[in-house]
Structure 1
């Protein structure tokens, strides 16, 4: 990693995290409305469901990692999805302590109804960019994510305690 000599921003409005958070607030609000108003499904549960749709049979710990949620939030989301009949947890043969998670037939049907609405929201959001800009943005976003993950192990940040948020806090 090369030494960064960029001048730090002078105001929060210039900071990438602030700007991404503002974008996520606006776009995430739209996603929440599509999921909750259209299907009565909180966006976190949609994220768990969508992750499961493409990774059937995961352990809940693996699902938590892929969905970038802590285990408690993943477990709560899975319980609510299971109550709806959209998810099924099945003990793994030979090791009953390990539980594989699958979408049920009804869960796959609901996923197939919600996915096109969320995909249309994506299309509407990225309409502000042409194809070249979108490809560049996607590549840059991937590099920024890689950089953020690398900084988790950087000595300036690795020693900071992890913050566990309780239910209801952001």
Structure 2
């Protein structure tokens, strides 16, 4: 999936978000969060506007955005599956589950299906260590995930 250029209305909305954060100390992260909440990702066209407003370089704005894994440069799929990759989950089968998910979806990490149905992402510790392997399915935690339950989720079932 490729992000579309910002429309005039989109640019206007970015400027509103920037105005809402004017005078806030350390506003870059709250601005990025607000932009992503509005658009579902941080459009590339927004970064120069944000950088200019915050009096930083475009490279600095991009660096901060890409440092934090939850900021997206492209829209996510309608469903987002985040599989825990931390050691506690690995110890109870997360690697095999991740291999299964990638094979079943045809995606690699951070990939989105061509139809925009699903995005697959790694996440490093969900705090569900006693319930591994763990995942977030559309923001909802799922513990003790196995291949059968994962297949049901991928088929459109509830977590």
Tell me whether the two structures share a fold, i.e. TM-score over 0.5: no
Q: Normalising to structure 2: TM-score of the pair? A: 0.24
| Larger helix percent | 1
Q: Highest relative contact order (Cα 8 Å, sep 6+), 1 or 2?
A: 2
TM-score normalised to structure 1 length: 0.22
